[in-house]
Structure 1
Amino acid sequence: MGHIVILLLVVASGMGLSVEAGLLGPLGEEVGHMAATLSIFLVGGLLMSVALVFAPKRSLPGLFAQPRWLLVGGVLGPVYVIVLTLATPVIGVGTTMVGILCGQVAASLAIDHFGFFGTPRRAMDRYRVGALLLILLALGILNR
């Protein structure tokens, strides 16, 4: 897949996260934040179970043979969704997403720079730090 196609998929996925936040806030207010979070993972788990049947490469036993720290993402996902569900009704979708983006970019810069988790190293430079500072500025403007 070309670089541009991947970039477009990433942007579209980011848009999907904003839609998810917009849906989760009201759902959490109606049914409770934990129930809303559970519903997202039940629906997602069902869809992924169906998709796994058609996946060309699947190895569930191999999944559990991996180092346990690689499975930490399973904990981080629900935490992220609970935060979305709690924050969106209070500060709005836009501010929530910019705050999340700020945290994502800050952590991503460190992961890339130091090559954490076996990822290829990409040095932090003034452009990457500048991008983070602009996101921080946007967060400050939205939160005034």
Structure 2
Amino acid sequence: MWYLYGAVLLAGIANAVQAGQNGALAKSFGGSLSAGLVVAAGTAACITLAGLVSGKLTLPSAAQVLDVPWWAWFGGVLGGGIVVAQLMVARQIGAAPFLGMLVTAGVVTSILIDHFGWIGFERHPATLWRIAGGLLMIAGVALVATF
């Protein structure tokens, strides 16, 4: 199970590096959102390759498609919004403030999601320690963005 934490750490590193890569791609393309299409194609190729190599690439049945909650279909849109932010914002405010704000907003939102058990997650109360951790992250991002 420990290797899963390693995978998440690698994904966090990739997230920081990706923002710069996507920004450079957009700059080379003249700030065009066509860079986002290149990113989307790379994402699709990566997922397809991982699915083929692992043998876990399957198409859902009609019953599975009909069973999906309405709000679950928008995950790709949210992912696209993250890429658009990387393309249009990250290079202007810097890697550290961008990723710090991205991660901190995610953690604070996750505390709320866990507390209320939204979008399919089990309920985990927003304890004083969790709230303090979120506040410390906000303070840390403020320091990174200011100095």
- TM-score, normalising length from structure 2? 0.87
* Coordinate RMSD, CA, aligned: 1.7
Task: Give the SS at the match of 2:124.
Answer: coil
Residues 105-141 of structure 1, C-alpha deviations (whole Å, 9 max, x = no match)? 1110011111111211111112111111111111211
Match in the other structure for 1:116: 118
- How many residues are aligned here? 142
Matched, 1:85 2:87: yes
2:27 to 12, 26, 29: 29
The superposition leaves residues 15-50 of structure 1 with CA deviations (integer Å, 9 ceiling, x where unpaired) of 110010121112112213412211111011122223
Alignment-derived partner of residue 100 in structure 1? 102
3-state DSSP of counterpart to 1:123: coil
Mapped to 2, the partners of 1:141 and 1:81 lie a distance apart of: 25
Distance 1:47 1:106 in 2: 29
Distance, in Å, in 1 between the alignment partners of 2:6 and 2:81 is 26
Percent of counterpart pairs with the same letter? 25
Cα distance change, pair 33–136 in 1 and its aligned pair in 2 (3 A): farther
Any gaps of 5 or more consecutive residues in structure 1?
none
Q: Aligned partners of 1:133 and 1:47: how far apart in 2?
A: 35
Name the counterpart of 1:14: 12
Indicate if the aligned counterparts of 1:33 and 1:86 stay in contact, CA closer than 8 A: no
SS at match of 1:142: helix
The alignment partner of 2:3 has SS state of: helix
Comparing 96-105 with 62-71, greater Cα deviation is found at 62-71
Distance 1:22 1:57 in 2: 31
> Structure 2 regions of 5+ residues with no counterpart?
none
TM-score (norm 1): 0.88
Q: For residues 32 and 9 of structure 2, what CA distance do their matches in structure 1 show?
A: 27
Match for residue 64 of structure 1?
65
Residues 142 and 24 of structure 1, relative CA distance in 2, 3 Å threshold: same
